[in-house]
Amino acid sequence: MDIDWQLFSDSLWPIVRGGLLGTIPLALASFTIGLAIALVMALMRLSGNRFVSFMARAYISVIRGTPLLVQLFVIFYGLPSLGVTLSPWPSAIIAFSLNVGGYAAEVIRAAILSVPKGQWEAGYTIGMSRLTTLRRLILPQAARVSVPPLSNTFISLVKDTSLASLILVTELFRKAMEITAYSYEFLLIYVEAAMVYWVFCLVLSAGQTRLERRLDRYVAH
């Protein structure tokens, strides 16, 4: 098979640019909002109120039990039937954020539960309220425990953003699709896009490893 290296070279920057201006910002925005949702859901799951806990469990069950693509289509194509029309970017951010919230909630809940109960008692002993103890003692320790799984969630999200191309969001994979539309070099361009995703994930994985080592040193001291 003859490889069109000129096309490969010419298409590399547009694809990378789509990742830098589309994929990464979309993933960062969705992950940030998703973490906030996840924290709320995790605290609701740990609530002593059965109704509050049930609502959180129901949300997590729905998110984890349905495909991300279906969730994305429900928001972008389904909501207009209810009179709610959203443009591609907000639709993608909402769908990805809700998805991250459902998966990350269990990670955060497990991390909170991993903190020894004595830490709660220590906070109460020095006069802290439950909320203050949670904010100043429990969550910082839980954050260190949750870094590896949450980092993996973010890396997976970067790859999942390719689904946003199906609702016309201009990101890495969408740029690859646009190039194949006029070049008809499907294998070459899609392999090139896969390589760019791979490099992005390698960089993120290296950052994850470095962060984990720094946190390990902090805990050791």
For 7, 97, 108, 115, 189, the CA distances from 103, given in Å and listed in that order, are 39, 10, 9, 20, 32
Q: Is the pTM of this model over 0.85?
A: yes
Q: Which residues in the chain show pLDDT less than 70?
A: 1, 217-221
Interior angle at CA 18, CA 14 and CA 21, nearest 5? 130
The reported pLDDT for the residue numbered 217 is 64
Interior angle at CA 112, CA 108 and CA 113, nearest 5? 115
The reported pLDDT for the residue numbered 220 is 43
Beta strands in 73-114 (DSSP E): none
Could you tell me the domains of the chain?
7-217 (1.10.3720.10)
The reported pLDDT for the residue numbered 1 is 58
Distance in angstroms (rounded) separating the CA atoms of residues 151 and 91: 23
The reported pLDDT for the residue numbered 221 is 43
The reported pLDDT for the residue numbered 136 is 83
Cβ atoms within 10 Å, residue 52: 14
From 152, 134, 146, select the one nearest 46 (Cα to Cα): 134
Interior angle at CA 187, CA 183 and CA 192, nearest 5? 90
